[in-house]
Structure 1
Amino acid sequence: MGCAEENPEEKPKCNPFGTRFLTDDAKVFEHNAWDDVEWSEEQQEEAKRIVENQQSMKVDEEKAMRLLSAPADQWDAFYAHNENRFFKDRNWLLKEFPELDVNEACNSENVTVKILEVGCGVGNTTFPLMQVNNSSSRLFLHSCDYAPNAIRVLKSQEAYDPEKMNAFVWDITQPTPEEAPAPESLDYIVCIYVLSAIHPDKIRKALSNLMSLLKPGGTLLLKDYGRYDLTQLRFKKDRLIEGNLYCRGDGTLVYFFEMEELEALLGEFKMKKKVMHVDRRLIVNRAKQVKMYRQWIQGKFLKPVEL
């Protein structure tokens, strides 16, 4: 399943985001979701107005300082309370990132494919990836999270296989721990809703740490929250910290990116864009006749081979 990579300005021709397009507004409630839905100018202006109004309802400074001083603590408390009962397995991974089915590469090239999943939580990406690639003896999956309770829960599950997996605690804004993979050893790094959990001032350090582990020719696969996603627009009082950085009710942080912003960040590390796309999806509650607009950013970036 190949995507358009020659012209990165194009949307992926393999269309991993779905092919149900809304061409008749009168039929909007016939399905639960529609793909690649463009916003009207009025919707864009309304979204900007909502975000501007949030500026007058910021989190108080003392609370903001507390949340920003130890962001991992909020996620650690989250996993201590929820264990593995909250998030669903990401069984959609291969639809958006078909590269992660490494069976063919492993079998044909007789090499070990090494992947690092960042922000692994309790294994909702880890275990689906291993299940897909269970016929391969040459996949090794590193999984890290900065919440010790997440790693504890992941490693306690029956499906955890230390012969094929290495789960470890790491705040990617800090130096790499001993358990981390060797420099320039990884074929893929997977970041799903990871960069949005980091303060914008620390993202460059996090990317520098990650890129040092990716081998020349290796690929960064990412998905994260887009600017004016429904989640951002629904935030009320005491959620905005600064800019486009918010805290959820449980204290965890979330930042909303523009596509050009993420591309520029990765460009600072000489990463070459293969594919980048804003996944605009209209989710429909047919029973309540409610429309919900979601926006995610998906990208694939290649680390150049030094000449």
Structure 2
Amino acid sequence: MAAPCAVSVSDEAHDSETLQNTVELPAHGCKRPQFGTRYLKDPNQVFQHNAWDNVEWTEEQELAARQKVLENSQPLPLEKQEEYDCRANDYWNDFYKIHENRFFKDRHWLFTEFPELAPNCRQQQSPQSESTGKITTVSLASESPSSNVTTSPSAAALSVPNGDFPGSSSTYRILEVGCGVGNTVFPILKTNNDPGLFVYCCDFSNTAVELVKTNAEYDPDRCFAFIHDLSEETASFPIPEGSLDVIVLIFVLSAIHPNKMQASIRKLAELLKPGGVLLLRDYGRYDMAQLRFKKGRCLSDNFYVRGDGTRVFFFTQDELHHMFTEAGLDKVQNLVDRRLQVNRGKQLTMYRVWIQCKYRKP
């Protein structure tokens, strides 16, 4: 498959510390706290939790991060950059052949940050608490009252002039771009019990897509996995324009060459229904992963290649906002998750910077 640029599974996979962010839902169904709710007030308590939210950097930390990036920003020769471009598919396929589905944790935290992924999940009743004996109910269905995304299971199926397509009779459609081995798709299918739900998932890597299809939890009546290179302008989706309620990009846009990002976002925006939303979580500028790159790994400003040949970009809020609005989408959310992650066993602290966005089609 011709593939000038990679759009693949979350680059999150390469940074094992990031996996601490994929918090599992407790067995009783209670949600983890939304990010931005756990603050470190006493530095002596830093090792009491795995992560602390909204950790402000000092001026010295910010200056040191900028200097580190500047020191390692000499770009590789153009011919070497072109090699990584042309062989992007090979590098990602090699990655999945080595790791298969052993490298990842299911991203159950997505339902806390993005309730659109479980719009009709029934209220779940937890077991009685040993300490209080109370029954707690948790609903993953609600967002802000201003949300205009259609979530009713009784909504009429979309009438599409193109005729039948996978999921054409469904009433709520979600697409994940860069699905990897299904660590977002399968939690959605298990958590969202809407009978009208249909989930599409695609990846740049044919190896990754095959791993999804051969998973015992893959249900072709509720899900359709396919190979797709988002950065290829001539590549078409097996889904008509204006047919999706939600599009998910989790550590995926950063894998695309910066010159291809705007066109990629525009293509996705065309797939959304009016009122549909695009959900993104990705690397922020000066994240620990960026500061770890040494000389000889820079491709262009804030764009790097890893040792395994896969690539990653580090965003600012303004850069993402510009791309989404240029594609005709309206901002609902654009936040920086500046987090201090903790390895309590090794007594280590790690500064992470992620950006979380939600943009809606008018």
Same fold flag (TM > 0.5)? yes
Superposed displacement of residue 237, structure 1: 2.9
- In structure 2, what is the equivalent of residue 125 of structure 1? 184
Q: Are 2:153 and 1:107 aligned?
A: yes
Secondary structure, counterpart of 2:72 in structure 1: helix
Q: Are 2:55 and 1:32 aligned?
A: no
Distance in 1 (CA, whole Å) between partners of 2:187 and 2:33 is 22
- In structure 1, what is the equivalent of residue 317 of structure 2? 259
Superposed displacement of residue 209, structure 1: 1.4
- In structure 2, what is the equivalent of residue 186 of structure 1? 244
- In structure 1, what is the equivalent of residue 98 of structure 2? 81
**Equivalent AA in structure 1 for residue 103 of structure 2:** F
Secondary structure, counterpart of 1:292 in structure 2: strand
| 1:182-234 CA-partner distances (Å, limit 9, x unpaired) | 11100010011111000000011111211111111110011000000000001
Please point out which of 72, 79, 86 is paired with 2:89. 72
Please point out which of 42, 57, 61 is paired with 2:60. 42
- Cα contact 1:87–1:124 (8 A) shared by 2: yes
TM-score, scaled to structure 1: 0.89
- Cα contact 1:102–1:113 (8 A) shared by 2: no
Superposed displacement of residue 79, structure 1: 1.2
Superposed displacement of residue 279, structure 1: 0.5
Distance in 1 (CA, whole Å) between partners of 2:236 and 2:62 is 46
- Cα contact 1:191–1:223 (8 A) shared by 2: yes
Superposed displacement of residue 26, structure 1: 2.7
Superposed displacement of residue 61, structure 1: 4.0
Superposed displacement of residue 238, structure 1: 2.3
- Cα contact 2:334–2:356 (8 A) shared by 1: yes
Secondary structure, counterpart of 1:280 in structure 2: strand
**Equivalent AA in structure 1 for residue 332 of structure 2:** K
TM-score, scaled to structure 2: 0.76
- Cα contact 2:233–2:263 (8 A) shared by 1: no
**Equivalent AA in structure 1 for residue 153 of structure 2:** N
**Equivalent AA in structure 1 for residue 43 of structure 2:** D
Superposed displacement of residue 18, structure 1: 4.5
Superposed displacement of residue 177, structure 1: 5.2
**Equivalent AA in structure 1 for residue 300 of structure 2:** E
Q: Percent identity?
A: 49
Distance in 2 (CA, whole Å) between partners of 1:131 and 1:45 is 45
Secondary structure, counterpart of 1:117 in structure 2: strand
Structure-to-structure mapping, 1:78-227, within 5 angstroms: 78-103=95-120, 105-107=151-153, 109=155, 112-133=171-192, 135-175=193-233, 180-227=238-285
5+ long unaligned stretches in structure 1: 1-13
Secondary structure, counterpart of 1:43 in structure 2: helix
| 1:223-261 CA-partner distances (Å, limit 9, x unpaired) | 000000000001113221111000111111100000111
- In structure 1, what is the equivalent of residue 295 of structure 2? 237
**Equivalent AA in structure 2 for residue 113 of structure 1:** Y
Secondary structure, counterpart of 1:212 in structure 2: helix
Distance in 1 (CA, whole Å) between partners of 2:253 and 2:347 is 33
| 1:245-295 CA-partner distances (Å, limit 9, x unpaired) | 001111111000001110011111121000110001101223433221001
Distance in 1 (CA, whole Å) between partners of 2:274 and 2:358 is 14
Structure with greater helix share of residues: 1
Distance in 2 (CA, whole Å) between partners of 1:173 and 1:61 is 19
Moved more, 62-71 or 237-246: 62-71
Secondary structure, counterpart of 1:231 in structure 2: helix
**Equivalent AA in structure 2 for residue 107 of structure 1:** P
Distance in 2 (CA, whole Å) between partners of 1:179 and 1:49 is 42
- Cα contact 2:33–2:112 (8 A) shared by 1: no
Secondary structure, counterpart of 2:153 in structure 1: helix
Distance in 2 (CA, whole Å) between partners of 1:94 and 1:287 is 28
Q: Are 2:339 and 1:281 aligned?
A: yes
- In structure 2, what is the equivalent of residue 7 of structure 1? none
Distance in 2 (CA, whole Å) between partners of 1:66 and 1:235 is 19
- In structure 2, what is the equivalent of residue 9 of structure 1? none
